[in-house]
Amino acid sequence: MAIVKPFKAIRPTKDKAFFVASRSYEEYSKEELKAVLKYNPFSFLHIINPGFKFDKNIKGKERFGLVHNRYLEFLEENIFQKDEEPSFYLYQIEKDDFKSLGFFCACSVDDYRSNVIKKHEDTIQDREELFADYLHTVGFNAEPVLMTYEDSDLVDEIFQRKIQREPEYDFTTTDKVNHKLWKISYPEGIKKLESAFGDLNSLYIADGHHRSASSSLLADIKKTENPNHTGEEAYNYFMAYLIPESQMKIFEFNRMVKDLNGFSKKEFLIQLDEHFRIEKRMDGLRKPSKKHEFSMYLAGEFYTLHFRKTNHVFPDALSKLDTQILYKTVLEPILGITDLRNDDRICYGYGKNNLIQMKDMVDSGAFAVGFSLVPTTIEEIKAIADAGLVMPPKSTYIEPKLRSGLAIYEL
């Protein structure tokens, strides 16, 4: 059974929610970040970039302490307020034809450790320890772990009833995304949601593997510091945003490699022929249309690579994954890429116009070859997580991407 708990969120006042909400820090260009920090004193970016106040780039543990101080200032200046009653927070994101309706809750560290909350990515110990130290110093969790669950009629019924009412927040950001948030604080609604998720065997992490791992590490640290530990303290949980599988959108990451590992174009194509039927395309930009099919851009030409499955055995769910097939048949044995995370010869791209960008990068000479894949499916993610396997890095780009600062979980 999966545990979800309501919590007393720290949230911006209704009149300031639009100004507080920010995208992920990494998504801002230097110019955009500077402009937001200069002209929007309410942005959550002031908390996570506290050095701006001193016109100094501050890093490491010194930054952690200043993040905590900026957070306290937002509370002291009533930009943030703490809810008086534990609640679930229903949050809807909508742009064009994409809509996601999920909720913020507290999830159990014990569920993470016992594999009720299932993972499909490896984590790096140094990053786990660094972020656990960060959480320990700042005392709050503002970046939820994005998780998904099997669609539930009961949960959807609760949500649909709630969204008929006036939301706590309703605003549209400059990227034309509409954001709405409702509180579910009435005892009957809380009980029904807790019960509905208690009937689920698993939750699946979509994005936030390091955040969940760091929360587990933090719980161990806090437990040793607390002689009166009961298991119910806030640090035994972490903030998550849960959405049904049907409302999660998965995109592919393309791969670009800087050189052909010493092969000429003809030699490289001959190497590929062992595992693929190679079809040169005469119709310009070409995305793959199905699983086990890859689009390749090489020396000004597009090719479709059809994987030869006749003599290939798939021993497990991971071996069927297109990113794994490309790694095991091309990137590692032919191009010599063994470390997909750290080798600077490989680069990844995503987005609506990524195929065009991939072509432009190869044409510019920055890269020698690019590969486009079809997106990974939720069924593949679940099968790999259920089997306790790990996907290659950059196998999925998942939406929704949440705004920071709308709900904060105090540790």
Judge if 187 and 164 occupy the same domain: yes
Task: Give the number of domains in the chain.
Answer: 2
Judge if 63 and 82 occupy the same domain: yes
Judge if 135 and 195 occupy the same domain: yes
| Residue whose pair of structure tokens reads 């909400």 in the numeric block | 21
Judge if 17 and 151 occupy the same domain: yes
Structure tokens at 255: 């791969």
Query: What share of the chain in percent tops pLDDT 90?
Result: 86
pLDDT, tens digit, 9 for 90 and up, residues 66-93:
999 999 999 999 999 999 999 999 999 9
Q: Which amino acid is at 54?
A: F
Q: Which amino acid is at 86?
A: P
pLDDT, tens digit, 9 for 90 and up, residues 198-255:
999 999 999 999 999 999 999 999 999 999 999 999 999 999 999 999 999 999 999 9
The pLDDT of residue 55 is 83
Q: Is the pTM of this model over 0.85?
A: yes
Buried b (16+ CB within 10 A) or exposed e, 230-263: eeeebbbbbbbbbbbbebbebebbbbbbbebbeb
Judge if 263 and 221 occupy the same domain: no
Q: How far apart are the first and last CA of the chain?
A: 24
Give the HSE-up count for residue 189: Cα atoms under 13 Å, Cβ half-sphere.
Answer: 19
Q: Region 181-201: what's the mean pLDDT?
A: 94
- Label residue 394 by pLDDT band (50, 70, 90): very high
pLDDT, tens digit, 9 for 90 and up, residues 164-173:
999 999 999 9
Judge if 167 and 123 occupy the same domain: yes
Cα separation, 336 vs 257, in Å, equals 10
Judge if 20 and 144 occupy the same domain: yes
Domain hosting residue 212, numbered range: 4-250+399-410
Judge if 229 and 267 occupy the same domain: no
Judge if 268 and 389 occupy the same domain: yes
Q: Name the nearest CA neighbour of 371 among 351, 397, 347.
A: 347
Judge if 126 and 179 occupy the same domain: yes
Residue with the bigger pLDDT between 170 and 57: it is: 170
The pLDDT of residue 360 is 95
Judge if 214 and 202 occupy the same domain: yes
CATH number at residue 378: 3.30.1760
Q: Region 294-322: what's the mean pLDDT?
A: 93
